[in-house]
Structure 1
Amino acid sequence: MKVLNLQCAHQHEFEGWFGSEDDYTSQLERGLLSCPMCGDVHIAKKLSAPRLNLRAGRQEPQAVAPAAPAGAVPMSNHTGNAELAALQARMLNALREVMANTEDVGDRFADEARAMHHGEVEHRQIRGQASPQEALELMEEGIEVIALPMVPAVKETLQ
């Protein structure tokens, strides 16, 4: 099993598990890899240090950073990368919670929100699609709405 650190063109970092290097290359060439945050299919492999399982009792070797290939862009701020990854994880968890605790009314969102606001139907937690114009009209009528990005990773469990 090969675990690779990957990044899309929008700088979202994620991990991919592959049976082999050929498996990774094949999936990449066929357009089967996509960013779980934004769906981008322009994926690049990032540098990563291998994990070596050494027998107990052996002295741990000194950690040495691998030499970067020609043209590679070094990661300049590991703390910033960790903070970004944590922020992305929190955002995904929050969006998944919204998905789990709301009813999808699709393109009927504006009509359903108005009907609840005017007491025509029972109040419930809903989500759906509305054009920017519809959302503005709802807000002008005093109906609270919020636009959320629905990234591909929200709809499925990541491993």
Structure 2
Amino acid sequence: MIKYNLECSCGENFESWFQNSNEYEKLLKKNLITCYVCGSSKTVKKSLMAPSIGTSKSSSAEKDSEQKKEFLKNVKSKIRELNDYVAKNAEYVGDNFVSEVRSIHYDKKKKRNIYGNATFEETKELQEEGIDVATIPWAPKENA
């Protein structure tokens, strides 16, 4: 297994594990590596990494690690709460999101809350048109 630091053009940095470097390249070419913030799969790339040197952990480092795990657990929980709220209060339109939101904005369809999929570029275009949209992180459900 190999861990890479990844960077998206939306400015988000994150880590991901891969079976090996060839597997990373294969997934990248198929646009299967996506940014968890904006959902884009075309603007994610490897960023600079420092080598990982094995050292003995001090209790302070272990405490920091536990605090980070707890923090991330809380963040995931809040993201799931947000996801649940959106799912209960809006209609999922999937990959039709861009056309649906334009139809609503230009009064071709009745106003309603919707959510779905859009690339970073599509979201930017919608915002440039004056359409109020936002990108939210979407966490997979546990045991799903």
- Report the Cα offset of residue 137 of structure 1: 1.3
Structure 2 counterpart SS, 1:145: coil
Corresponding residue for residue 75 of structure 1:
62
Greater relative CO (CA pairs within 8 A, separation 6+): 2
2:107 is the alignment partner of 1:119: yes
* Structure index of larger Rg: 1
CA-atom RMSD, angstroms?
A: 2.9
Letter in 2 for 1:119: D
Residue number among 72, 77, 88 corresponding to 1:100 in the alignment? 88
Structure 2 counterpart SS, 1:121: coil
Alpha-carbon distance in 2 for matches of 1:86, 1:129: 25
- Report the Cα offset of residue 99 of structure 1: 1.8
Change (3 A) 1:149 1:87: closer
Alpha-carbon distance in 1 for matches of 2:72, 2:84: 18
Change (3 A) 1:100 1:133: same
2:98 is the alignment partner of 1:110: yes
Change (3 A) 1:94 1:113: same
- CA deviations 1:103-159 (Å, max 9, x no partner) are 111111111111111111111110111122221111111001111222212xxx66x
Corresponding residue for residue 51 of structure 1:
none
Change (3 A) 1:87 1:133: closer
2:119 is the alignment partner of 1:131: yes
Corresponding residue for residue 131 of structure 2:
143
Q: Gaps (5+ residues) in structure 1?
A: 1-8, 12-37, 39-70
Corresponding residue for residue 50 of structure 2:
none
- Report the Cα offset of residue 84 of structure 1: 3.4
Alpha-carbon distance in 1 for matches of 2:107, 2:80: 33
Alpha-carbon distance in 2 for matches of 1:101, 1:72: 49
Change (3 A) 1:72 1:108: farther
Whose helix fraction is larger, Structure 1's or Structure 2's? 2
Structure 1 counterpart SS, 2:92: strand
Alpha-carbon distance in 1 for matches of 2:139, 2:71: 20
Alpha-carbon distance in 2 for matches of 1:133, 1:83: 31
Residue number among 81, 85, 93 corresponding to 2:73 in the alignment? 85
Report if aligned partners of 2:76, 2:139 keep a CA contact under 8 Å in 1. Answer: no
Q: Percent identity?
A: 28
